[in-house]
Amino acid sequence: MRRLLLIPASIVLTATCGLTLCIALHKNPHVIEMSIAACVAILASTAGVTPLWIARHATQLGVSQAALVATMVHLFVAIALAAIAILGHFPLHGSFLIWLSAFYWMTLIALAMAAVRIIKTAPQGAQKA
């Protein structure tokens, strides 16, 4: 489960690169929107990791199904939290969606990489004798 540390690392790396790029281009990075988008990505990733954690002792078949569910949960939680932030009439700039999409894709890549590693290390199905 150490591989799941890729997710917070991807969030930190995305925020750092985005802030650096905005400062280099003399643009406003909208730090409040970035922070809220990072929180949404963290919550979505935590929800997405849950099926993998539940299936950590399963066979490759079970873990691969949990990985599919994990990516689906990650997507739906991110959409739901983004909808709450947007439709909740919070005073957010449009950059919230840009930050959220960057965080979403980076955490999805990290989640998929972790899932592939977990599937590879899971035991194969029962052998017929």
Percentage of the chain beyond pLDDT 90 is: 71
Interatomic CA distance for residues 111 and 76, integer angstroms: 14
With beta carbons less than 8 A apart as the criterion, state whether 75 and 105 touch: no
pLDDT digits (tens, 9 = 90+) for 60-85: 999 999 999 999 999 999 999 999 98
Interatomic CA distance for residues 61 and 55, integer angstroms: 10
Residue 76, number of CB atoms within 10 A of its CB: 13
In a domain, 82, yes or no: yes
Q: Would you state the structure tokens that stand for residue 110, as one six-digit string? A: 């990290």
Q: What is the DSSP letter of 58?
A: S
- Whether 129 shows a pLDDT value over 70: the answer reads no
In a domain, 126, yes or no: no
Indicate the pLDDT class of residue 90, thresholds 50, 70 and 90: confident
In a domain, 113, yes or no: yes
15 lies in which domain range?
Answer: 2-121
> Mean pLDDT over residues 6-16, rounded?
91
| pLDDT at residue 128 in the model | 56
In a domain, 43, yes or no: yes
pTM: 0.88
In a domain, 83, yes or no: yes
- Whether 53 shows a pLDDT value over 70: the answer reads yes
In a domain, 26, yes or no: yes
In a domain, 128, yes or no: no
Give me the number of domains the chain comprises. Answer: 1
In a domain, 127, yes or no: no
